[in-house]
Structure formats: C-alpha cells, structure tokens
Amino acid sequence: MVVARVFGKSSSEAIQRDNARLAALQQLDILDTPRDEGFERIVRLIKQIFSIDIGIVSLIDGHRQWYKACSGLSADEVSLEDTFCRCVVDCDEPVIVQDATKDARFSKHSAVTGEDHIRFYAGVPLRTKAGHMIGTVCAIDRRPRSFSSRDLDILTELAGAAMDRIELTQSAATDGLTEAMTRRAFKQEADQLISLALRHHHDLSCIVFDIDHFKQVNDTHGHAAGDAVLKAVAAICKATLRAGDLFGRIGGEEFAVLLPHIDREGAGAVAEKLRAAICSQPVSGDHVSLTVTASLGTSALSIVSKDIETLLAQADAAMYRAKHGGRNRCVSWSSIHADHAIGDRRRVLKAGSILFNDRRSTIDCTVKSIGSESAGISVSNTTGIPPEFILAIKGEGFETNCKVISQDRQNLEVAFR
C-alpha cells in the first residue's frame, strides 16, 4: 500500500537540488564502474602536488561516497553521513579544514579520533557542465596544514580534469582491461537486440554474474592479481560464448551476457557452462595460482520483462540468491519469482530511506531501479535489515511496504506489498 508523505518546506530546496544532482549522476551511469588509470593518475597528482597522504575522486549517490579513485586509503566507499564530503554536498561549494581537531563539525569524527588520524581536508565539487555536483575531489592529510587560494585553484582544476575524463569515458565501447563491452555500450546494443526479438517474436535471455570473493583477491594478493583474474574470466567467457552474444563488464567484478535466440532453459545451460569453465581453469599470476568461482543469475524475455533494465534486475535478483545460497552456482529468475513480481523497471538514482522497527529505525539507501511492483536498492550494509520494511523516496511523498526478494551485502531486490 502506498502512503503519501509530506516533507518540510524548509528542506524542499535542498531536496530539489539533491534530486537534480542524482538525476545528473544517473544519466552518466558511472557508479560502480571499473577502475580507470586516468582517475588513478589524478589522485596520484593530488598527493604529489600538495605533498599530502590521501587523494580522492569520488561520486556521491543517495547514501554513500563511492571512490572512483583513491590513493592513501583502503576503503572503496564510505557512508555519506560519515564523510567530510557531506559538507560539500550540503553547501554546494568547496570546504577547507586546516585542523579537524579544532573544527566543531569534525573534532569528534571517528576519522579524526580513530586510527585514520585525519587532520587536514580540502574538498571541491565535481561538477557537470550543467553545474550539477555529482561528487567531490579531495586532498586529505594526517597533519594540520594551510591551503592557499592558489592551492584551491589547482584542486579545482584537477576536479575539472576529472570531469573531462568522465565525459571522455562516455564514448568508450570497450573496457580497456578485459576487452568486454562497457556498461553503457552493452545496454545500448542490448536495447537494439531486445527490439529485434520483440518485433520478430524470438527468444532472448540474460545472464548476470559476479566473481566470488573478489575483494579478498585484491586485499590478499594485490590489484595486479585482481586484474589477472578479471582478464582470465573475460577470456574464458568470450571463448565459451557465441560470436553473436553480447558480453559486457558492468561493474568492478560483475559481468553481463545477452543471449539472442536462447530461451530460459537454454540460458540456464549456458550459465552452467560458464560457471564450470570459470572454476575449472586456475588463474596463474606472480608466484600464485588462484581458483576462481562465480555466482550466476539468469532471466528471459517475456511479456513482463521486455527491457534491459528489467532483465538485468531479474538476473541480479537471481544472482544474489546464488551468492546467498553458497556461491559458485546458477539460479534462474523463473525459479524464485513465483511469489514475487518484478514488472517493468526503469533505471533511476534516488535518495531513499528504509524504515522499520515501527519507524524508529532508519537506514539511508539509494533506489537504483523501480517499477510499479518492485525496486532495486543499494545500502552500505544489508546486515540488520528485516525481511519486510517501508521504503520512502525523499522529496516525492512516496512510501510503500516492501518484502525482500533477494540480497547480498550491499544490494536488495524488493517486491512491493
């Protein structure tokens, strides 16, 4: 049941600005994309130019700051409520903190009082040409220091270079590391193949898969080993798939396949073939041999699922179920959807809240896709989220009761009740 919700007028302007910011970020479709050497170079330059410990290029969605590139910290992202960059988002202008221990906003922050020992922070908005702030570029140090107007100008220029790099990547059709299609190119070609399948009434299916425990590979053996795994898995897939199949890298360790003229049973067979091929071929690197597995989810074109966003959402839900069930396995959407619906979905990026415990508990989230019957949601951590809750979308007067269909550590697929 959907219930109207009215937000205070005092916050309406900020909500409208945030909605416009998220819409601009959604249009770029760059969140959770693979590492890129151009951005890595920018964060290294930040450290070298200012002689500091940490450089960051980040994107900010509804609940987190995600690091497109970061040098000096091990994390990939941080909750928006826990980041200094929240102040840049709120005021929509640069923020300089010369000594965080003497700044009332940050003196008790865990990054200041804890082992990170942050003292200096300079963050500038990462802006599109239309003026929307989609993220930040940051210079951070573990010692107090000054930051001149010239320094601020340089950091702002580096933010401009990062935005130029984002715009340049929009035209890329092939991922430089794996030679798979980029996410944007994959979706564009998928749209065309789906249109042909609908017009000529032939089958079409989708597979989404994720390399199991990939973060442990990077943390234990380094990014070079992680890159070797990604290249090897992509090569295995391309050798296994047909020439007319689409194969794309849609996230850091997440891939998607579109299978023209293949029904749901055939998609299951292809997924199993991919799974077996991946786990049967150890990846050799510098002084290490790694056995790699993957969790796969499949979906198929139907009266309900007839666009790429819905197919990916269904395959994602099935993949999360495969991961939750022990990994290194294949799950079909058709095997889990009997009691739950995922109708037509559209891709969005909206700030939301998960409400439970009689509305006494709230968790910020980002709504990534939504339809009349379901949604795909991203959170910092799904631990502690109950199987049923209320989803609210900020600034839209929207609330609905939800039931979790499937989940992994940071993603939820929910059906509306």
Q: Is the pLDDT of residue 205 over 70?
A: yes
Q: Is the pLDDT of residue 9 over 80?
A: no
CB 96 within 8 A of CB 62: no
Per residue in 74-84, pLDDT (tens digit) is 889 999 989 99
Same domain, 296 and 223: yes
Q: Is residue 175 assigned to a domain?
A: no
Rounded CA separation 60/79 (Å): 10
Q: Is 223 part of any domain? A: yes
Asked if residue 328 and residue 187 are part of one domain, the reply reads yes
Domain check: are 320 and 230 in the same one? Answer: yes
**pLDDT higher for 284 or 59?**
59
Confidence check: pLDDT of 34 > 50: yes
Residue 342 has pLDDT above 80, yes or no: no
Does residue 191 share a domain with residue 331? yes
Q: CB–CB of 316/297 below 8 Å?
A: yes
Q: Mark which of 169, 197, 225 sits at the end of a domain.
A: 169
Q: What is the pLDDT of residues 134-167, one digit of tens each?
A: 999 999 999 999 999 999 999 999 999 999 999 9
Domain that holds residue 401: 1-30+344-417
Give the CATH number for residue 39.
3.30.450.40
277 shares a domain with 229: yes
**pLDDT mean over 46-53:** 98
Strand spans (E) along 159-267: 204-211, 246-249, 254-260
At residue 246, does pLDDT exceed 50?
Answer: yes
Say if residue 339's pLDDT is above 70. Answer: no
| Domain finish residue from 310, 335, 360 | 335
pLDDT band at 284 (very low <50, low <70, confident <90, very high): confident
pLDDT bin (cut points 50, 70, 90) of residue 345 is: confident
Task: Quote the pLDDT of residue 1.
Answer: 31
**Residues 403, 375 share a domain:** yes
Classify strands 54-60 and 64-71 as parallel, antiparallel or unpaired. antiparallel
Q: Predicted confidence band at 6 (pLDDT cuts at 50, 70, 90)? A: very low
Say what the pLDDT of residue 4 is: 32
Q: What's the pTM?
A: 0.90
**Do residues 325 and 193 share a domain?**
yes
How do residues 175-190 score in pLDDT, each as one tens digit? Answer: 999 999 999 999 999 9
Domain assignment of residue 174, yes or no: no
Same domain assignment for residues 368 and 400: yes
- The number of distinct structural domains making up the chain is 3
Q: Can you give the CATH number for the domain in which 322 is found?
A: 3.30.70.270
Report helix, strand or coil for 45: helix
pLDDT tens digits, one per residue of 362-407:
999 999 999 998 999 999 999 999 999 999 998 888 999 999 998 8
Residues 410 and 285 in one domain: no
Domain boundary among 169, 195, 211: 169
Q: Residue 412 belongs to a domain with what CATH number?
A: 2.40.10
Residue among 132, 24, 7, 14 nearest 349 (CA): 24
177 lies in a domain? no
Q: What pLDDT shows up at residue 386?
A: 97
What pLDDT does residue 338 have?
55
* Sequence-ordered list of residues with C-beta below 8 angstroms from that of 142, at least 6 positions apart, any chain: 53, 116, 117, 118, 119, 120
65-108 confidence digits (pLDDT tens): 999 999 999 889 999 989 999 999 999 999 999 999 999 999 99
pLDDT at 135: 98
- At residue 288, the pLDDT reads 81
Q: Indicate if 144 and 248 belong to the same structural domain.
A: no
pLDDT of residue 7: 33
Query: Residue 408: which residues within 8 A CB-CB, separation 6 or more?
Result: 320, 323, 324, 382
